[in-house]
A and B are shown apart, each in its own frame.
Chain A
Amino acid sequence: DVKVTQSSRYLVKRTGEKVFLECVQDMDHENMFWYRQDPGLGLRLIYFSYDVKMKEKGDIPEGYSVSREKKERFSLILESASTNQTSMYLCASSLSYGNTEAFFGQGTRLTVV
């Protein structure tokens, strides 16, 4: 059974803290993604990675960075958390070729206070 696992379901952090969100997939997928989901705005792509150490910016990369040192793990880093980064964060992975879908983790609800 395919699996994408995010390290936390709920997280509360203080403004200015450095925050790490971790995601692991066990499907040997090349692509991994970080999205944030906000009411009325849908799923917005923050960053994605198509190979180890390879990354591309999505639509809203400001205030975030990512790390992919191993194929199965993709980390999202909030360098200095701010209240406008309070959101649901979803990690996903997919194969590259063809009509192959993305599989999602269960999401991390991050609250920055």
Chain B
Amino acid sequence: RKEVEQDPGPFNVPEGATVAFNCTYSNSASQSFFWYRQDCRKEPKLLMSVYSSGNEDGRFTAQLNRASQYISLLIRDSKLSDSATYLCAVKRRTGGFKTIFGAGTRLFVKA
């Protein structure tokens, strides 16, 4: 079983739709949580960190449920430019601080 699991999708949604992604993690020692965005043929870049109380950045809302060990990302009012792969990531301490990624969820927003 992978340490971080995501539904690979793809999710095909119309512009203006609301879409939600979930991600589960298996190691309860995970300390920090993130959503990254990766455009085609580009490197991943941070979309937002995920805080225990949940956090929002414009049309994007991230939630963390430590008891059930999952994080979620909600995108409201989807835009064509939101089409990308969304990767969740967790950070935990081993000798140093290791960042583990899920395989990513592909989102296509169509006009």
Binding site for B on A (CB under 8 A): 30-31, 33, 35, 40-43, 45, 48-51, 54, 56, 58, 90, 92, 94, 96-102, 104-107
| The one of B6, B8, B34, B98 that contacts A45, using a Cβ cutoff of 8 Å | B98
B109 close to A (CB within 8 Å)? no
Considering only CB atoms and an 8 Å cut-off, how many residues of chain B contact the other chain? Answer: 26
Binding site for A on B (CB under 8 A): 6, 8, 32, 34, 36, 42-46, 49, 51, 87, 89, 91, 94-104
Are A90 and B43 in contact, with the CB atoms below 8 A? yes
Name B101's contact: one of A43, A48, A99, A107 (CB within 8 Å): A43
User: Nearest residue in A to B96 (C-beta to C-beta)?
Assistant: A50
Q: Which of B6, B46, B104 contacts A101 (CB 8 A)?
A: B46
